Structure 1
Amino acid sequence: MLRFRLEPAKEQEQKLLHTFRLCRKMYNQALEERITSYRQHGVSIHYTDQQNRLPAWKREHPEYKDIHSQVLQNVLQRLDQAFVNFFEKRAGFPSFKDKFCFRSITYSQARPSYFREDGSVFLPKIGRVKMIAHQPFDAASVKIINVKFHDGRWYVNLTYVTEAVAPLREIQNAAGIDLGLLSLIATSDGEFFENPQWLQKSEKSLKRMQRQLSRKKKGSKNREKAKHELQGAHDHVANQRKDHLHKVSRSLMDRYDLICMEDLQVKGMMKNHRLVKSIANASWGKLATYLEYKAKNAGKQLIKVPPHHTSQLCSAGCGTLVKKDLLVRIHQCPTCGLDIDRDVNAAINILQRGLEIVRQAG
């Protein structure tokens, strides 16, 4: 996925904001329809049911004729995914959205003709909008266009499909990485990447802004302004985290042909209420995603290995399991005498397991 800045004209910006408002209204009414149907009749309504009623919806609400059909379909798809996440216990029950929670639209069937060499993108029902493309891309490969208003700026996210995969390189440099909370990463070479803990650093100011928001009168302009400022602060933290993860993943990919990491079940680990905030802030899953697609583009490999006993097993090869809790940061083997940082010891074990998987794959 590529993200570029958008610079819509004032009239185009008003059209986009109007589209956001109507999409939010439709999302909330579709959610209300599902809830009412189940409570009154015990019948569950699904995406296909609501999607098939879109033509009738447009006839009943003429203002929706100004909204592209793909955008409206995506609104219903988002609601359907929210229910899927709820039933799979990945999220709470879907909630009604205010204007601060619906700030993007999606065109699911992009065409090459939407893009021009003058640096613009055509958005159906909106017009041709100036796009700041800071790097070249294959317009024919773009399948999905997502327009987002984020932190006071407009962006376009281009999701593309490419059949070309870089050929695998010969493995000359390999590393295992252990994911942690004190340090974000420890490598089998003994290197540590810091965990800046952006959320913890901003938590005090975020709580203050939240208190200020709660004191504002509902429906007032001051409350709207305070809510916008709070959202901007959260967006800033998210941007800091993403930037750091991109730099870490790029640094690793530039140096190693093979990277081995634990196949952690982050979803299960998030159930620990004492660690949930720290795990979410570390964003291990997002780091794995960045490593995976960068490896594929560079012809390198990312291998995930079973995580059991990586911290306890002695990496010197003696086979001893040295049990220790999270407070013990040094691995000291009573059998062979190895004295090493526990995270580095785990990273070495992860590397050894990854190399074994490569050898077996032959």
Structure 2
Amino acid sequence: FIKLPKLGYLRYRAGRKIVGKIKAVTIRKSSTNKYYAVLSLDCENQAIKGTNKKVGLDVGVSDLVITSDGQKYQTIRFDKLIEYKKHQWEKKLARRRLLAFKDIQKQKKLRLLEHKSLDQYKNYQKAKIMVAKYSEKVANQRKDYLHKITTELVNSYDTIVIEDIKINKLLKKHNLARAIANQSWRELRLMLEYKCAWYGKQLIVIDPYKTSQICSQCGYDDGKHELDVRTWTCPHCHAHHDRDINASKNILNTGLGQTLVR
């Protein structure tokens, strides 16, 4: 149970035990009519034991995160897993909204003193909640996946280097906009920022300029590569590179170079 002012004791469910002193509680209602209690806790130092490891992270579309150690975290399109069911309810929602508007207009023409509002059409409200439930499910699945990845990275490495990607520019590429928006790169960065602060780890953000076209072995600039070029060989040192792993190595080298300059 949780005790709230003016409401008294309320039964609630939580995924884990509450550790620390509760400082504030915010009650939030979702679009699917679910209530959440967001707790602010006063906790002691949560620093994790150091591993003395450093890693550079590159983000992409085919793979969500690629580390400089060669590990790849696969992209999961949660939106496509329930795309058909959600689309069916979206069509029902549009049809029921249209019928409701027609009925409202009909009542206005008859000059009824009390005509219905859109909130009073039960079939429309049911379809609206079903569409919201599918959207909420996708958002929850994506957030859970990002939490698992970021927690694993923060536990495994002391220094993490990432790119400062300008997502707004990338979303202008209409053939990739939906796939890029699904990746939630901004959410990934925010999670890394506060988890590194919580657990006493270091997060370095660098400019992504030319990280995918410079050889991580000799520093040769091979020029811009199109997105369909996934592997390439350096003409200077003849090292064969995976595009994403090479970029993550360059990200790590640049980030470590910045810390030395400081």
Note whether the superposition's TM-score is higher than 0.5: yes
* In 2: Cα distance, 1:326 partner to 1:197 partner: 19
TM-score (norm 1): 0.61
CA displacement at 1:150 relative to structure 2: 5.7
Are the structure 2 counterparts of residues 274 and 159 from structure 1 closer, same or farther at C-alpha, using a change threshold of 3 Å?
A: farther
Q: What residue is the counterpart of 1:30 in the other structure?
A: none
- Correspondence for 1:102: none
**Cα offset for 1:268?**
2.9
**Pairs within 5 Å for 1:121-140:** 121-124=3-6, 126-133=7-14, 134-139=16-21
Q: Which runs of 5+ in 2 are unaligned?
A: 101-117
C-alpha contact 1:169 1:300 (8 A) present in aligned 2: no
Q: Residue 138 of structure 1: CA displacement?
A: 3.4
Q: Which runs of 5+ in 1 are unaligned?
A: 1-118
The within-5 A match list for 1:201-240 is 201-216=81-96, 217-218=99-100, 219=118, 220-240=121-141
TM-score (norm 2): 0.82
Residues 130 and 224 (structure 1 numbering): CA distance in 2 closer, same or farther, change over 3 Å?
same
Match status 1:155 vs 2:36: yes
Kept after mapping to 2: 8 A contact 1:314/1:322: no
One-letter code aligned to 2:94: S
The CA deviation string for residues 209-229 of structure 1, in whole angstroms up to 9 with x for no partner, is 211211223243111111111
How many Å apart are 1:301 and its aligned residue? 1.1
Deviation (angstroms), 1:350: 0.3
Aligned-pair CA distance for 1:357: 2.0
The one-letter amino acid of 1:158's match is: L
Q: What aligned pairs does 1:154-173 form with structure 2 within 5 A after superposition?
A: 154-159=35-40, 172-173=52-53
- CA distance in 1 between partners of 2:238 and 2:229 (Å): 16
For residue 168 of structure 1, report the CA deviation from its aligned partner: 9.0
Structure 1 CA distance for aligned equivalents of residues 47 and 82 of structure 2 = 43
Identify if the C-alpha distance between structure 1 residues 155 and 222 changes in structure 2 by more than 3 Å, giving closer, same or farther. same
Secondary structure at 2:213 match in 1 = coil
The answer to whether residue 217 in structure 2 is matched with residue 336 in structure 1 is no
* Whole-angstrom distance in 2 between the partners of 1:239 and 1:272: 26
Residues 85-164 of structure 1 aligned to structure 2 (within 5 Å) = 119-124=1-6, 126-133=7-14, 134-139=16-21, 141-142=23-24, 145-149=26-30, 151=32, 153-159=34-40
Superimposed CA distance per residue, residues 278-333 of structure 1 (whole angstroms, 9 cap, x where no aligned partner): 12110001111111111111111111111010001111123333421111111321
Instruction: Tell me, yes or no, if the aligned pair for 1:260 and 1:304 is still in contact at 8 Å.
Output: yes
The one-letter code sitting in structure 1 at the alignment partner of 2:2 is S
> 1:88 maps to which residue?
none
- The CA distance in 1 between the partners of 2:260 and 2:49, in whole Å, is 15
- Alpha-carbon offset, residue 204 of structure 1: 3.0
Q: Deviations over 1:137-159 (max 9, x none)?
A: 433543x6132246453211124
Superposed, which structure 2 residues align to 1:314-329 within 5 Å?
314-329=215-230
| Aligned-partner Cα distance in 1 for 2:145–2:75 | 9
- Where 2:39 maps in the other structure, the secondary structure is strand
Give 2:92's aligned amino acid. Answer: Q
1:177 aligns with 2:57: yes
Match status 1:200 vs 2:80? yes
Amino acid at match of 1:135: K
1:184 partner letter: L
Per-residue displacement from partner, 1:20-59 (whole Å, max 9, x unpaired)?
xxxxxxxxxxxxxxxxxxxxxxxxxxxxxxxxxxxxxxxx
User: What is the percent sequence identity of the aligned residues?
Assistant: 32
